[in-house]
Amino acid sequence: MSVSIIVGDVHLGKGVSIGKPGIGNALNSRIVDQSRLLDWVLDQAEEHQADTLIFTGDIYEEPRPDYRLVDLFVKFLKKCEVNNIETHIISGNHDIKRTGSHYTSVLDVIASAEIPMTHIYKKITTINKDGVGFTLMPFRDRSSLGCKTNAEALNLIAGQIPFEAATIPDESDRVLVGHLAIDGSIFVGDESDNMANELMCPLHMFMDYDYVWMGHVHKPQARSQKPYIAHIGSLDISDFGETDHVKNIIIFDTSDPKRFKEIPVPSRPLRRVRFTVPVGFNPTEYVSNQIKTMHEARSFKNAIVRIEVKLPDADVDNVDRSAVEKMVYGLGAFYICGFSESRSVSVVPLSKQELMDNTIGPKDAVKLYAEQFEFKSDDAKSEYIRISHNIIEKYMCKTEK
């Protein structure tokens, strides 16, 4: 029997704009957080006696990451090797750089390092382990498959799946792990580079499998229970649009009757403070009290905090930032990444004035209509204008009399 861990998109280098800047050669705090989560994954592998890690893709946020990020991940892979853990990495859309029809990937650098127990997948592949077969499906979109329509591209992918499933023994669990979007899933960020090319896989595409976990979409969400089909979500909470997400890794154990369990990821919390100060309240006191109330509901301890305050009008005093920041750090916050204030602007209504006469005469109106109407020929247009003008002249002469 075997134990494997499925890990969502890592996105090394994402969210540095909200992290605490590194001093000197020190790394931005968000990168430090991401590195610690990788070490935590390794700890989970040792604790659960897992011999396999499967990454759903998007190891890096940028297709051309800083060399320190590449070095950081290679060192992690070597730690896995020392602990006799195989690592399988599926290519994601953030891992590739496309120039016309030519693709390059930073993952090629990892492949060149020839780490014996690390494997990179750029095409659909199935690996069989004791009691389970994993089909690994890298990112594809309509353009990458050279198809004119998304339906055509989906048919190409769907045609490969039964052949991959057939390579898994009947007595084994069939698991598909990939980097594609499932139809009906909820996008929350920058997962997709081009929604027009994005392939939304229908649920019935995976009926040959018992379990399916996709990366790519950051929000964890199950789309089907039998077979079980879900987006695992990204590894870490990366921005303030994901503050309500509970990130997980999957422990797949063939000896467990339930087969898998979700382990919550110890992500650093993000707290977004957004208040409009009511008229008549002291801004500093109001904001401070509201933050304390928030802290009681969801702790600010070790959190990255962004504060956005809207004041009622131009005459109200500014918030005492130093006092509020001191109070927030006193609650145990890790870092305040932003503190902004805005004010409501009073709009003074202006009386409507007619600055010009927009009316036109009847003959000009006929010409304007004739320019917009499609006539069979220019002669027909000219004849229409001539007759209309004659009628107008006769009518005006009668009214003047």
**SS3 of residue 339 by DSSP:** strand
Torsion of CA 65, 68, 73, 78, to 10 degrees: 140
Residue 29, number of CB atoms within 10 A of its CB: 20
How far is 180 from 56, CA to CA, in rounded Å? 9
How far is 284 from 321, CA to CA, in rounded Å? 8
How far is 266 from 248, CA to CA, in rounded Å? 9
Alpha helices in 213-299 (DSSP H): 283-297
pLDDT at 95: 85
How far is 139 from 170, CA to CA, in rounded Å? 27
Taking all residues of the chain, what is their mean pLDDT, rounded to a whole number? 88
How far is 206 from 39, CA to CA, in rounded Å? 32
Q: Copy the structure tokens of residue 186.
A: 């909820």
Alpha helices in 83-205 (DSSP H): 107-112, 150-166
Between 193 and 62, residue with greater pLDDT: 62
pLDDT above 70 (res 262): yes
Residue with tokens 């467990």: 256
pLDDT at 354: 42
What are the CB-based long-range contacts (under 8 Å, 24+) for 157-163? 157/124, 157/199, 157/201, 157/205, 158/205, 160/124, 161/135, 161/205, 161/206, 161/208, 162/208
C-beta separation of 44 from 249 below 8 A: yes
pLDDT at 142: 86
pLDDT at 355: 40
pTM, entire model: 0.81
Q: What is the mean pLDDT of residues 332-360?
A: 67
Residue with tokens 């650093």: 268
pLDDT above 50 (res 299): yes
The domain limits of the chain are 3-264, 270-343, 362-400
How far is 335 from 20, CA to CA, in rounded Å? 7
Q: What is the mean pLDDT of residues 175-200?
A: 81
Q: What is the pLDDT of residues 23-60, one digit of tens each?
A: 877 899 999 999 999 999 999 999 999 999 999 999 99
If you count them, how many residues does the chain have? 401
pLDDT at 353: 41
Instruction: Report the relative pairing of strands 304-311 and 52-55 from DSSP bridges.
Output: unpaired
Residue 264, number of CB atoms within 10 A of its CB: 9
pLDDT above 70 (res 191): no
pLDDT at 317: 87
pLDDT at 381: 73
Q: What is the mean pLDDT of residues 109-121?
A: 88
Q: How far is CA 194 from CA 106, 142, 346, in A?
A: 20, 10, 40
How far is 369 from 363, CA to CA, in rounded Å? 10
Instruction: Give the HSE-up count for residue 47: Cα atoms under 13 Å, Cβ half-sphere.
Output: 9
pLDDT above 70 (res 111): yes
E-state strands within 41-172 = 52-55, 86-90, 96-99, 102-105, 118-121, 125-129, 132-137
The fold of the 3-264 domain, in CATH, is Purple Acid Phosphatase; chain A, domain 2 (3.60.21)
pLDDT at 235: 95
Q: What is the mean pLDDT of residues 88-113?
A: 82
Kindly indicate the confidence band of residue 78, based on its pLDDT and cuts at 50, 70 and 90. very high
pLDDT above 50 (res 269): yes
Q: Which amino acid is present at 220?
A: P
Q: What is the mean pLDDT of residues 222-250?
A: 93
Q: What is the pLDDT of residues 129-157, one digit of tens each?
A: 999 999 999 998 888 888 889 999 999 99
- Rg from Cα positions in the chain: 31
Local structure of residue 242 (DSSP, 8 states): G
Candidates 51, 59, 100; CA nearest to 76 is 59
pLDDT at 389: 76
